[in-house]
């Protein structure tokens, strides 16, 4: 688990949403409070977020985007080819980062170990040091509230920001709508 951030993604009936906090830490110090750790990729059809080293994440975003271009935006093919490259490359294997990628149909967690994980429920995924707080809140809110996808992600990340010292409440959200 990275002591880095919190990213939460939710693929609901009407929207696919990803959110992340803005805190960048170095050891036990906050370096920045308003970083952006989420992006829209491939012609605005894919959402992605990262937890871990910022420099590593920029490399991974670029690399993943090249796989998206090569597969003409096919998310499943892209995550498989990306994970193979990440796992086999001696330099890339040392990168300390994780990613969540999603579109309106699928959601995946990608790790430097070559893991490609589709959440069991196919709807909610989280990474980072506050990920367990955020996903717990999201599951409870999904089950016991009428919040739309965007509000559910925002509220869950706010809860994680109250609990995780490596997560703040400067939340950024991206969405894909029908």
Q: Per-residue DSSP letters for 29-98?
A: EEEES----EEEETTTTEEEEEEE-HHHHHHHHHHHHHHHHHTTT-HHHHHHHHHHHHHH-TTGGG--EE
Residue-range definition of the domain harbouring residue 133: 2-176
Say if residue 3's pLDDT is above 70: no
Comparison of pLDDT for 86 and 35, the residue scoring more: 35
Most confident of 23-27, 50-54, 62-66, 159-163: 159-163
pLDDT of residue 92: 65
Q: Mean pLDDT score of the chain, rounded to an integer?
A: 90
CATH of the domain at 115: 3.60.20.10
Annotated binding-site residue? 49: no
Annotated binding-site residue? 130: no
Q: How far apart are CA 138 and CA 102, in angstroms?
A: 17
Q: What is the pLDDT of residues 27-62, one digit of tens each?
A: 788 889 999 999 999 999 999 999 887 777 787 888
Say if residue 91's pLDDT is above 80: no
Cα angle: 49, vertex 55, 58; to 5 degrees: 45
Annotated binding-site residue? 164: yes
Phi-psi region of 27 (alpha: psi -120 to 50; beta: other; left: phi over 0): left
pLDDT of residue 1: 45
As a whole-number percent, the residues of the chain with pLDDT over 70 amount to 94
Domain tally, the chain: 1
Say if residue 93's pLDDT is above 70: no
As a whole-number percent, the residues of the chain with pLDDT over 90 amount to 69
Q: Give the orientation angle of helix 149-163 with respect to helix 131-144, to 10 degrees.
A: 140
Q: Give me the active site residues, please.
A: 5
Say if residue 117's pLDDT is above 80: yes
Say if residue 114's pLDDT is above 60: yes
Note the pTM of the prediction, 2 decimals.
Answer: 0.93
Rounded-to-10 torsion of CA 95, 39, 160, 26: 40
Task: Give the CA count within 13 Å in the CB-facing half-sphere of 89.
Answer: 13
């Amino acid at each position: 688990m990275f002591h880095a951030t919190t990213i939460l993604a939710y693929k609901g009936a009407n929207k696919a949403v990803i959110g992340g906090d803005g805190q960048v830490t170095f050891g036990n110090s906050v370096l920045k409070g308003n970083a952006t750790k989420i992006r829209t990729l491939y012609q605005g059809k894919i959402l992605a977020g990262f937890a871990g080293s910022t420099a590593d994440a920029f490399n991974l975003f670029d690399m993943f985007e090249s796989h998206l271009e090569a597969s003409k935006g096919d998310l499943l093919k892209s995550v498989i080819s990306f994970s193979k490259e990440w796992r086999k490359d001696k330099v890339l294997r040392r990168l300390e980062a994780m990613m969540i990628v999603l579109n309106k149909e699928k959601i995946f967690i990608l790790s430097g170990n070559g893991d490609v994980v589709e959440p069991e429920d196919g709807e909610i995924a989280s990474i980072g040091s506050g990920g367990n707080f955020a996903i717990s809140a999201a599951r409870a809110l999904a089950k016991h509230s009428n919040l739309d996808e965007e509000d559910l992600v925002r509220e869950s990340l706010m809860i994680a920001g109250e609990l995780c010292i490596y997560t703040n409440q400067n939340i950024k959200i991206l969405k894909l709508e029908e």
